[in-house]
Chains A and B, each alone.
Chain A
């Protein structure tokens, strides 16, 4: 018998006398209360996790301050390419080339206010996963209509089978005495630009 058939047979034998599966209650919250200001909450949570927050497309320049070469997905809107940096489109950049840029500028798929989470699903203006991973500084643009209050509101907006990265603040570790240290292997600096 193949391992597959044997494991499936073991499962069926184990469950021979099992009672019927219980009904799944779904009493939990799927949205925040209407009076919650989700933009303010998102900002609060981002700042709490040591991300920098900026407002308006013009602020992209300030978010990119110090970066001379900036990698961008090829479909990044032209109006986001502001400031004096050189924008390098990712049309198959090598790992070494990605490692050589100062920052990366992308959009996102959705954001969750309650946990300060920005979600990427390889859709418009986001590029592939390596693009937002190798450079040490990630600037991500979030449109107002992409902000949701609750995780349950954000999940349906994602392309479920596309590669996803959910980002909540810059790379961090708490492995040493449970003291949080920002910046390990992922981008050590995260700037979020909110558009109205």
Chain B
């Protein structure tokens, strides 16, 4: 049995995407695990999406509902607050991660607890709630199987839906055996045995915890209800058994009406796990006498979302329902995995969300794409990811070399005779580096380009020359 090295630790913290991707590409086991997992889930998604003859109509509706939510956000947020409050919930507002973490930690202390059980939640990962709790002397126990694996390995999630996608069963067996404490002796790598070990490990904690922390997939303004979609039952445990429930919800999660669930609850499970419906969906509204937590708190989180809202093109990223279909079809994600993106939201959606949520950081992520458009095609809420990628590339800073090259190109292309000469020179000049119709490697400074791209050989005859001949 090998010593555990968390995959995320191999990628230098804060490394730009090209550098991080290069490290990830050098891990053959990671690439095998990823290719297997994304391939499996792509096929499942395609099958169940294909079962619905109104799939495109559902996408059109979902996109329009989300666009409406964005434009009506102040009104819907207030309506949600009113209805949730009337039902017995306490609604808090958090401008940023630090404020949300402070409120959550205070609520845990007020409940007289030092430990909480957690339902898988992207929002709490985004604000690094677990790390904050630890710094405050509190402990958060992840209960989703994949999150448990990642937490035990002291690693970071690498996928929105299946955070431990980069581990195979044998690696997971090793993590459990070495880190779980109460892992059964002789644990095999059979997934059923591993799931059973997780059940036993968490069961007593579920039945005795007094505080739980969750996110939410949807927040219904009309009723003040929250919705959590899950598979294992760890969500139901957290949402039902403790006395106090704290849910941290991004403001973009709002839906206007309860009936909107008839659209989103068809799209989400089919797009994410490739199931017609996920095993368990919980819907709750405030406090219910004698049923579930009697202290229900909801923290509405901004943390950069209102900044995204201000961008007419970029705001569609707020439509995301975190299904992760775009990760599974992305040729870049499939090869690099999630850690290379250096942000809690990886893949195509991360490439447009991360730089917008944290302006000035992650400016390299909009380039982590070939603009092939597969992400747009599978997106259940029709986020035009390529459009936003191009939009963000135009806004991001450009290096001095790139600026100089583009400036020179502009000057040459504006002068027809100079341009003609340049094309001929390019054909001659690239001669020594040609391999099978491509220029694969050139000396500095052109190496900066050819290091990650092949260059087509300039044609024997330029279009201009061909046209001139034809005109004769």
Contacts and interface: CB of A to CB of B under 8 A. Distances in A.
Whether A associates with B in a native complex is: yes
Interface of A: 2-4, 6-8, 10-15, 17-30, 45, 49, 92, 95-96, 99, 112, 114-117, 122, 128-130, 133-134, 151-152, 155-156, 160-179, 181, 183-187
A179 B306 CA distance: 38
A165 B228 CA distance: 10
Interface in B294-311: 300, 302, 306-307, 309-310
B71 A175 contact: no
Contacts, number: 245
A30 B262 contact: yes
For A21, A169, A177, the residue with the greatest tally of chain B CB atoms inside 10 Å of its CB is A177
A112 B261 CA distance: 14
Contacts of A163: 282-285, 288, 291-292
Given A22-B67, A172-B232, A14 B310 contact: yes
B232 A185 contact: yes
B140 to A, nearest CB: 17
Interface residues of B, number: 98
A174 B162 contact: yes
Interface of B is mostly: helix
Contacts of B259: 152, 155-156
B36 to A, nearest CB: 7
Nearest to A121: B283
13 contacts: A3-B95, A7-B251, A7-B302, A11-B74, A22-B67, A27-B61, A122-B291, A133-B233, A152-B262, A167-B280, A181-B191, A183-B196, A184-B198
A162 to B, nearest CB: 7
Contacts of B101: none
B279 interface: yes
Per DSSP, chain A at the interface is: loop
B217 interface: no
B304 to A, nearest CB: 10
A10 B302 contact: yes
Interface string B44-58: 100000001110011
B195 A6 contact: no
A136 to B, nearest CB: 10
Contacts of B251: 7, 11
Central interface residue in A25, A114, A176, A177, by most chain B CB within 10 Å: A176
A181 B306 contact: no
Contacts of B310: 13-15
B231 interface: yes
